[in-house]
């Protein structure tokens, strides 16, 4: 019998990507092959995103394409957890012929559906998993990122109820992964060649809240399930490999202050991805944001006092229901004063099922869009000014792409740039003719210019 083949489409955020990696790893472990085309597969799995309307449309369209081309489709991911207009499952309403639908983080349910429509090919004792790691609930198997960086998901779900967000209704309340498992996975990733570990979750600073910061074990020693201990341990694991650890989705709680000395000491990248969303306390209250009572400007100032190099990335929403012009001005002032290094901004768009839809004072669409554009003009001015300060500096750069061994140039990132979302460092031909660059190498480079969001540098 020929090896059964599964087609796989992974849509959505890094959290969905890690779910895809788990499913693909399990498929591979059981001897299934993957197909690059819908037509060449015996069955197709679509991992969906249900966050904003565009993502919902993309997911539904992809399911439609897979059904048309293949006919046997299993749907998983955030969209799979959403109800449609009739109260029934939205995916089933739109595509009644799908074989099965699951929510996010449901490897076993997806595998059960695969088994019932495409039986397992061979002896389950035959272990085809690359780099297995006994004892971990999530060993590094198939990764969908390049070999030199990887996402490390530390928890699922979220205890907050931001009024514009439906993630908790799709992914549930916060469930932290055991710290021992997280650290085992990190160690195996470093051993496997990962040079940059990106810590992700819905709320990284809340790690361990659900288990009351319980003490877990790693290598026989006790470690608390808490952000500070996690970051400390990750930095120890990364050190022998000279690898980077980068923190995403951190809220400005007082507990984050404890991590700043680790950044100043070079143990973890001085980079914080903090989704502020707004600055005005009334808007934050209407959004029901975590840490909305914190004095964010003061906190950022203290972070920067503790670690001069710190880079802050954030996302914002312009035109949230009820936002007045003066509240929006407050946001622009915040952006200038906080000097957020990297900022993204969405014009508010109602998400079906979100509590914010019930708020009064919907801002007209053209005003939302106009505010987004005004915000981005300020954000770009701040970012460009901050980038210019780097000209003349020598920075450590992680190489992402290096055609012809980088002899004519390459592309990389500094500590200030997370993959996919921030800028890059365009590397010119190295100063020394003999210098070679390869993907995953670190190189020192002298910044000679800026280009939009990017730096231009010469490897030295
Ligand atoms: S913190 Fe708010 S925006 Fe983030 S996942 Fe939780 S509810 Fe959604």
Predicted pLDDT at 198: 97
User: Tokens 């790691």 belong to which residue?
Assistant: 133
| Mean pLDDT, residues 342-363 | 90
Least confident of 71-80, 176-185, 284-293: 284-293
Please report which confidence band the pLDDT of residue 31 belongs to, taking 50, 70 and 90 as the band edges.
confident
Predicted pLDDT at 144: 79
Instruction: Tell me which of 51, 104, 202 to substitute to probe ligand 1's pocket, judged by most ligand atoms within 8 Å of the beta carbon.
Output: 202
Token reading at 213: 């910061």
Examine the pLDDT at 121 and tell me if it is beyond 80.
Answer: no
Per-residue pLDDT reduced to its tens digit, 256-304? 999 999 999 999 999 999 999 999 999 999 999 877 667 899 999 999 9
Token reading at 14: 């890094």
Distance from Cα 275 to the centre of ligand 1, integer Å: 10
Predicted pLDDT at 140: 53
Helix (H), strand (E) at residue 344: strand 342-347
Rounded to the nearest integer, the mean pLDDT of the chain is: 90
* Residues sharing a CB contact under 8 Å with residue 141, sequence separation 6 or more, in sequence order: 21, 22, 24, 25, 26, 28, 29, 129, 130, 131, 132
For ligand 1, whether the C-beta of 165 sits within 6 Å is: yes
Beta bridge partners, 316, equal 277, 345
Please report which confidence band the pLDDT of residue 127 belongs to, taking 50, 70 and 90 as the band edges.
very low
171 CA: nearest ligand 1 atom: 5
Instruction: Tell me which of 78, 249, 290 to substitute to probe ligand 1's pocket, judged by most ligand atoms within 8 Å of the beta carbon.
Output: 290
For ligand 1, whether the C-beta of 157 sits within 6 Å is: no
Least confident of 57-61, 133-137, 234-238, 361-365: 133-137
Instruction: Tell me which of 14, 16, 156, 158 to substitute to probe ligand 1's pocket, judged by most ligand atoms within 8 Å of the beta carbon.
Output: 158
Helix (H), strand (E) at residue 243: none
| 148-175: b (≥16 Cβ within 10 Å) or e | bbbbbbbbbbbebebbbbbbbebbbebe
- Given a contact cutoff of 8 angstroms between Cβ atoms, the answer to whether 388 and 450 are in contact is yes
| Mean pLDDT, residues 124-141 | 43
Predicted pLDDT at 134: 36
| Beta strands in 39-161, from DSSP E residues, in sequence order | 43-48, 73-77, 100-101, 149-153, 155-156
For ligand 1, whether the C-beta of 168 sits within 6 Å is: yes
């Amino acid at each position: 019998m020929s090896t059964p083949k599964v087609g796989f489409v992974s849509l959505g955020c890094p959290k969905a990507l890690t779910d895809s990696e788990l499913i693909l790893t399990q498929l591979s472990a059981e001897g299934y092959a993957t197909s690059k085309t819908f037509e060449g597969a015996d069955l197709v799995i679509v991992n969906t995103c249900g966050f904003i309307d565009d993502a919902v449309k993309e997911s539904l369209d992809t399911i439609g394409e897979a059904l048309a081309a293949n006919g046997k489709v299993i749907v998983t991911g955030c969209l799979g957890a959403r109800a449609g207009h009739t109260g029934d499952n939205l995916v089933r309403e739109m595509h009644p012929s799908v074989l099965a639908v699951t929510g996010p983080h449901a490897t076993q349910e997806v595998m059960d559906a695969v088994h019932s429509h495409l039986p397992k090919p061979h002896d389950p004792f035959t272990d085809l998993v690359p780099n297995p790691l006994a004892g971990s609930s999530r060993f590094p198997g198939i990764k969908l990122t390049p070999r030199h960086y990887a996402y490390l998901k530390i928890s699922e779900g979220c205890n907050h109820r931001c009024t514009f967000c439906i993630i908790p209704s799709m992914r549930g309340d916060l469930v932290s992964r055991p710290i021992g498992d997280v650290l085992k996975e990190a160690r195996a990733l470093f051993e496997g060649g990962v040079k940059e570990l990106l810590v992700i979750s819905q709320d990284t600073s809340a790690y361990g809240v659900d288990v009351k910061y319980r003490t877990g074990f790693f290598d026989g020693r006790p470690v608390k399930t808490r952000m500070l201990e996690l970051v400390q341990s990750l930095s120890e694991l990364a050190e022998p490999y000279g690898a980077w650890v980068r923190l995403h989705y951190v809220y400005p709680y007082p507990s984050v202050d404890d991590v700043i000395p680790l950044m100043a000491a070079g143990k973890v990248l001085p980079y914080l991805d903090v989704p502020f969303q707004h600055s005005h306390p009334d808007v934050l209250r209407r959004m029901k944001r975590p840490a909305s009572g914190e004095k964010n400007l003061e906190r950022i100032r203290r972070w920067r006092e503790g670690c001069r190099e710190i880079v802050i990335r954030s996302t914002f929403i312009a035109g949230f229901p009820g936002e007045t012009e003066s509240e929006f001005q407050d946001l622009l002032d915040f952006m200038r004063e906080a000097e957020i290094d990297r900022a993204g901004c969405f014009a508010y768009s109602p998400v079906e099922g979100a509590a914010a839809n019930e708020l009064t004072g919907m801002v007209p669409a053209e005003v939302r869009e106009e505010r987004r554009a005004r915000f981005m003009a300020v954000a770009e001015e701040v970012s460009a000014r901050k980038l210019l300060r780097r000209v003349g500096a020598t920075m450590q750069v992680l190489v992402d792409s290096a055609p012809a061994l980088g002899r004519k140039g390459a592309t990389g990132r500094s500590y200030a740039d997370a993959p996919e979302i921030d800028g890059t460092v365009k590397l010119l031909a190295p100063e020394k003719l003999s210098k070679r660059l390869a993907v995953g190498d670190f190189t020192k480079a002298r910044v000679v210019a800026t280009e939009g969001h990017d730096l231009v540098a010469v490897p030295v």
